[in-house]
Amino acid sequence: METIPRESGEHYSTSTNARTHKGVAVEAVTIKEVAALAGVSVGTASRVLSGNPATSADTRERVAAAAAELDYQPNAQAQALRSTRSNSLGLLVPDVRNPFFADLAHAAEQAALSAGYVTLLGNANEQGDQQDRYLDTLISRRVDGVIVAPVGDDGGRLRALIERKVPTVLVDRTVPGLDLPSVTTDSEAGIRQAVQHLAEQGHTRIGYISGPQATSTGRDRFAAFTRAVAEAGLSQDPELVYFGDYQAASGSAGVHALMELTNPPTALLAADSLMAVGAISILHKLGKRIGTDIALVAFDDIEWFALLNPALSVIAHSVEDMGRIAIELLLQVIAGQAPESVVLPSELIVRASSAMPIRPMPILPTTQTEQRSQQ
């Protein structure tokens, strides 16, 4: 709206990309200046800096020296605009504060870095709209590929990625109806081992704190639990299942609900680490001693779980592999291939939280003996 006449005088009228800061205009070094200092054309300078072999040793040297002298940093936006490659990947996780996803982010980021990509990390906060917002941002920034641990079940703006044929890989969770390569965990084995292990300790009523049924992991793990319980001949009382949302608070709520049953469980299985944290916290408050009064097993092998007293039994799966393989698959998609999805194994690690038989009595596989609550 300013109408003050501006003099278009004898300034450097050639290259003026100003970054203003505290009122002072700072000129960034461009390839033009590098070329000038080296005494070559812009095209030649570009060739040298991008490693194009069609250059003489002499110019290579002079351009490199000029770039170093001026501390030249190429404008990544201009590069990306022209070359349609941004050398950046998007990584979208439901929650960075969840140690599982923090580890995943770390693993993926390191793998991406060694492949020459920077990672834009986005946080969906377990909210579909925030995920969609980030996905649009990633489309706008023309990232070369995206790795998503999806929130919700409808795909949302993931479909926009697919339409645009943006290379995309799903990780940890899948979305029904979306045909994308993925890296997931086969929860079946780990959960069956956990249930069998608890049955061997004499437990007949296992409480299950489930993930939300709007996620693939929530459904898969719940189905695996149901099957395992049936196979082991344990109680299939539907009251023993509480549906949480993968956040700590719902782990607490789950324990509350399960322990108020007239016939409460003697063992608990939590479908992720955060809900396990919530469960532990409330069990402490309720005065229940883990590993003695009640057994507890958690999905996700978090370093800290081994430090608890008693140490927590967990169903482990390798988050490092998951992150690394996700990047590998993504690089393949970027290269124009159509890689197969990868399913990683899970396995039970028994520690003190579930190692002690609560009721040392023989298991009666056929007859379900009514047991009084131990209030």
Partner DNA sequence: ACGTACCATGGAAACGATTCCATGGAAACG
Partner DNA sequence: CGTTTCCATGGAATCGTTTCCATGGTACGT
As a whole number of Å, the end-to-end CA separation of the chain is 75
Torsion over CA: 362, 365, 366, 372 (sign):
positive
Contacting range for DNA; rule: CB under 7 A; set: 71-79, 180-188, 305-313, 332-340:
71-79
Cα dihedral sign, 281-126-331-120: negative
Distance CA 239, CA 186 (A): 26
Q: What angle do CA 271, 303, 313 make, to 5 degrees?
A: 50
Segment contacting its own copies (CB under 8 A): 23-31, 188-196, 236-244, 360-368? 23-31
Q: Which residue stretch of 115-123, 148-156, 231-239, 260-268 sits at the interface with its own copies (rule: CB under 8 A)?
A: 115-123
Of 205, 209, 203, 196, nearest in space to 242 by CA = 209
CA dihedral 180, 102, 253, 265 (to 10 degrees): 80
Residue 226 in the binding site for its own copies (CB under 8 A): no
By a kind-dependent CB cut-off of 5 to 8 A, residue 122 interacts, out of DNA, its own copies, none, with its own copies
Partner touching 136 among its own copies, DNA, none, CB below 5 to 8 Å by kind: its own copies
Please tell me the chain's helix, strand, coil percentages from 3-state DSSP, rounded to the nearest 5.
Answer: 40, 15, 40
> Which residues inside 81-100 make contact with DNA, applying CB under 7 A?
81-84
Q: Is 53 in the site for DNA (CB under 7 A)?
A: yes
Sheet of 88-93: strands edge to edge?
A: 118-123, 88-93, 145-148, 168-171, 182-185, 342-344
In sequence order, what are the residues at sequence separation of 6 or more whose Cβ sits closer than 8 angstroms to the Cβ of residue 307? none
By the rule CB under 8 A, 214 interacts with its own copies: no
Q: Which residues in 1-40 contact DNA (CB under 7 A)?
A: 6, 8, 14-17, 28, 30-32, 39-40
Under the criterion CB under 8 A, does residue 240 sit at the interface with its own copies? no
By the rule CB under 8 A, 71 interacts with its own copies: yes
Binding region for its own copies (CB under 8 A) out of 205-213, 230-238, 249-257, 334-342: 334-342
Interface contacts to its own copies, rule CB under 8 A? 17-24, 26, 28, 71, 73-78, 80-81, 84, 86, 95-97, 99, 102-103, 105-106, 109-110, 118-123, 125, 134, 136-137, 139-142, 160, 163-167, 248, 277, 280-281, 284, 303-304, 306-310, 333, 336-338
